Amino acid sequence: MTFFSPELLLILLLAPLLPALYMWALRRKKNTAVRFPNMGLIKEALGERKAYRRHVPPVLIFAALLLMAFGVARPSAVLTLPSERSTVILAIDVSGSMRAADVPPNRMTVAKAAAKSFVQSQPRNARIGLVAFSTSAMITQDPTLRHGDVTAAIDALRPQRFTAVGSGIIASLQAIFPDAELALPDLDIVRDVPLDQREQEPKEKFEPVPPGSNAAAVIVLLSDGRTNMGIEPLDAARLAADRGVRVYTVGFGTPTGGTVDFGGGFMRTQLDEETLKAIAEMTGAKYFHAQTENDLKTVYDSLSAQFVAETKRTEVSAGFAALALLLLVAAAGLSLAWSNRIGA
């Protein structure tokens, strides 16, 4: 266990004063007590009470004060708690290589089934969106709580032609930040605004944040090939990293690749693991490789478990305060019960 304010633990240096004050109070009470000539009669009147009882409430109070002292220092522990993420974007490669049958019946069919299973496993409060990328990228379903709409959009996916992983990341970021101006340093991208109004638009200064620090949104990107169109994937990944969005990448396909029929001609496709690993590393996420239908389902299941519940360091001061309150209530109750003040 660690503490967010460890300097406040110095309060514990006063802890030895508590039993010392208690012992002093007992001696003072003993010295000022009225002496009775016949102590046997007093014991008989009081009954056979155990001497330790009078010390239990003070001990409970001491323990409660110690717990409160620890709580003031803001203790923290690594706990598994429900995830704070509210938006998950599924970015799926729909290039022509997804028609390859090295994963029977074909990659696209298996990828769609696994993606739908992933969506169905998410909590109701998770907003899920869908991005499809091939020659370009398109937001086919804006983030929504209506998970049935997402599965319907997944069903409608069809293989296209090329692969544009970078464009898929940009479209995913646009789904997460619909009002943001996502422009790469080497691209001149402006919004569709009349020239006489562009200078009047207030521009908010964007301040990059640490990679992976955005706890409210993640991107899960699946690809089976190499980028041959659109924006460079690592340039797009840099934009995601600057916004703290993690991009979990899933490489799908066998190591030898698959053969696809393009209008009578055959082309062999092969996975670009190096780029997918670099994207995940740059954004503070992880890379997964799936060669079979079961592999892909396992990957999505592990991601689902991670998004539903995540392990992180959490302040537990409230727990210390609650336990201290419980001890104080117990001390008060025992004191009243053993002094015969209840029901008198």
Query: For 287-312, how does the pLDDT look when each residue is reduced to its tens digit (9 = 90+)?
Result: 999 988 899 999 988 887 676 555 66
CATH of domain 83-185+207-291: 3.40.50.410
Which string of DSSP letters, residue by residue, matches 68-108?
HHHHHT-EEEEEEEE----EEEEEEE-SGGGG--SSSS-HH
What pLDDT digit, counting tens, does each position of 68-93 carry? 888 888 888 876 555 555 799 999 99
Residue 187 has pLDDT above 50, yes or no: no
Q: What is the pLDDT of residue 216?
A: 87
Question: Rounded distance, CA 269 to CA 255, Å?
Answer: 10
Average pLDDT of the chain, as a whole number? 80
Domain ranges of the chain: 2-27+40-77+315-338, 83-185+207-291
Q: What is the pLDDT of residue 271?
A: 83
Residue 111 has pLDDT above 90, yes or no: yes
Q: What is the pLDDT of residue 152?
A: 96
Q: What is the pLDDT of residue 254?
A: 73
* Dihedral angle computed from the Cα positions of residues 226, 227, 232 and 236, in that order, rounded to the nearest 10 degrees: -80
Q: Which residue has the higher pLDDT, 267 or 251?
A: 251
* Dihedral angle computed from the Cα positions of residues 287, 292, 295 and 300, in that order, rounded to the nearest 10 degrees: 70
Look up residue 12 and give its DSSP letter: G
Q: What is the pLDDT of residue 334?
A: 81
Question: Rounded distance, CA 5 to CA 321, Å?
Answer: 16
Q: What is the pLDDT of residue 131?
A: 97
Residue 249 has pLDDT above 70, yes or no: yes
Q: What is the pLDDT of residue 23?
A: 79
Q: Where are the beta strands (DSSP E) in 99-189?
A: 127-133, 137-144
Q: Quick one: what percent of the chain has pLDDT higher than 90?
A: 35
Q: Between vectors from CA 313 to CA 312 and to CA 317, what angle results, nearest 5°?
A: 135
Q: Report the range of poorest mean pLDDT among 36-40, 50-54, 127-131, 155-159.
A: 36-40
The average pLDDT across 157-171 equals 92
The average pLDDT across 123-135 equals 92
Residue 41 has pLDDT above 70, yes or no: no
How sure is the predictor about 43, in pLDDT bands with cuts at 50, 70 and 90? low
- 250, β-bridge pairs: 222, 288
Q: What is the pLDDT of residue 30?
A: 63
